[in-house]
Structure 1
Amino acid sequence: MSAHGPMPKSAWIFPAIAVLLFAAVTATGYGFAPSPGGLVFAAVLLVILFGTVFAAVHHAEVIAHEIGEPFGTLLLTLAVTIIEVALIETIMLGDIEVPALARDTVFAVIMIVCNGLVGVCIFIGGLRYREQDFQVTGANIYLSMLFILATITLILPNYTLTTPGPVYSSAQLVFVSVVTILLYGVFLYTQTIRHRDYFVGDTAGREADAQRLPARLLALSIALLLLSLLAVVLLAKKFSLVVDAVIAAVGAPGALAGVVIALLILLPESVAAVAAARHNDLQKSINLALGSSLATIGLTVPAVAVVAYLLNKRLVLGLNGQEVVLLMLTFILSMLTFGTGRTNILFGLVHMVVFAIFVFMVFVP
């Protein structure tokens, strides 16, 4: 979604409908139940929620373009993080105890981004252009950040001695959260100021001469961004009821909830990343894809940790053995894919196969 041109109708219609839906459900005291009427409500809710998330990301991108870097990137990241944390915390604080939801969501984001989205972008770009180029240095920075953040949040909890099992002690959780935020902050500084050229492709600057947005439209985007975020937070409880009911009805494992949340928050950036690959701008695709995964770990995990600590909730972070194997495979494959600066359809296909394995293992572990 571009920050330029007229505002799409969906950018204000979905947030407005979301607020009205919440008001109607609250006024009538409607409680979701797995019935024909409940299924219709679930379908409507998902459509409205997806549309509202798209609207929030659109307005965040509009504002980010106007305020410039690094504040633009930070604003967009914070908007997505608020949505993700709201969904995770609402489900975690529901009637059913889900201590591993944050872990499942973060792991799903990494698998979807680094295998599914990256694979599709590289494959589509390879079909249209045979080979595509990108900045190796920028990709290496993304990967080094992703490897360290994923390791200390998803693997290391399995091997600590202070507390048994896949959890951190309170002191460890505080330390890891602080380190995670610090690393992500330095990464943002590197990406947007210090070494911005590492993350810029050959097609950058095509929109450099775009006109500034009028003040009234900028103010409208700010208001609609706040309304969109509020709408997502308000509907998060109903969304959690739908997710719980669907998982129980189909007999799916609890990890499916994390996959659903990951798909919801990644969809807007995924659409933009695939479109960039189709227009021979793989660098933008990489920035959108890998940047989304870093934001999820760098900000979402600390935010969830704070809430879990304040509410005295158990937070399971360590992956099981099967998931660790998939994560390590993703790390190795990513190093090979982004190590040369050029891609082709085979790289994309291999990533998509790993993603297919991940999805299959969610249902048949």
Structure 2
Amino acid sequence: MTKWSYDTNGTPGLDSVHAHALVCVTFSVYILAQVLRRQVRVTGLVVTKFFMIHVMNLAMLKLEAGVWGLVFMTCTLLYFYETLPVRYLPVQEKVVLITGCDRGIGHNLAKQLDQLGFYVYAGCLQKGSEGEQELVRNCSSRLTTLQLDVCQLEQVENAVNKVTNELGNKELWGIVNNAGICFVGNVETMTTADIQKLITVNYLGPVNICKAFFPLLRKGKGRLVNISSNAGLAPVPEMGVYCASKAALATMTEVWRYELQKWGIKVATIIPSGYKTGILAYDKQATAERWWRSASDAVKEDYGKECFYAKPKTEALLSPDLSPILDALVDALLSKSPKAYYYRGIFSRALPFLYLHLPTTLGDLVMKVIGDWFISKPLALQKSSKKF
């Protein structure tokens, strides 16, 4: 029975030893039961965290942290429980369609799912490209590459017909909308064609895929996983069109998450940040020259040619290790209870949090710094600043 003690003011306080022991023992027994029921995957990280929690508990008792220590420990245990890796579903002839497999996340995911035993349809922008040929060479016969430009309805229709005809007794388990592009620039410097292309690939592309493949996915009662961006949850200067396209995808994914529940389909959004995915690997020099030729005289005069050349200073800081994103994708496809959102990378949560919670004055300073990373100061503003 938990004992109560009184401080010097006569206020009742919970005895630390008994309360901490009761909470930790109860939690430990529950987690052990989850492991024995095979509801939780035991990993080295889980064991380490579990050990550290008990060390922390002993430290709390030594420091006689009292009620506030108990509150802190309770919150820590709840966080640990929320992050426990649940048991995966068996692969067992599960079929997954992935878009954007020429390189980056889609390419690596296709190889990883093939190794896990999935049947993979890897949509590539260009059949015969280096990335597509590598998949053909290095993956098993369970992987099939598709010519799949998500903007071309004819190619989408051909893909759904091919998958339908080849499924046999299998069912489509997952759709991963990964294909995406990014241009750094504002709506004045970018061409209208590139603005429309960006919106089409990043937002209408997933809509095209889902509209075509949902009938198959409903039969399998599987998973829809869309890859958005933290730039879809917070504005990034000089990337407005990209932000808008990813914001549209994030919102549409949430709508699908509610709409598809009645069909037994689980939906997840991946929010990566700080990884070298290849999305910024487009020819910035050629793109800038093309934009400059198409710009109006007023835009050329005000901005100057330097503003058409994207110079992301953060590319060297991007991590080439895509494993955190790939692990999140596998979890979204195989976990019994996938999360609605998977944040990967320090800025995936930080940027939206700063935007939403910082006072506007401070938030504006942060966004100004971010914008200055990408584009030079407009020529007209440089001239005006020299006058003062």
Q: How does the TM-score come out when normalised to structure 2? A: 0.24
Q: How does the TM-score come out when normalised to structure 1? A: 0.25
Give the number of the structure with larger relative contact order, counting CA–CA contacts within 8 Å between residues 6 or more apart: 1
Between Structure 1 and Structure 2, the one with more strand by share is: 2
Between Structure 1 and Structure 2, the one with more helix by share is: 1
Larger radius of gyration: 2
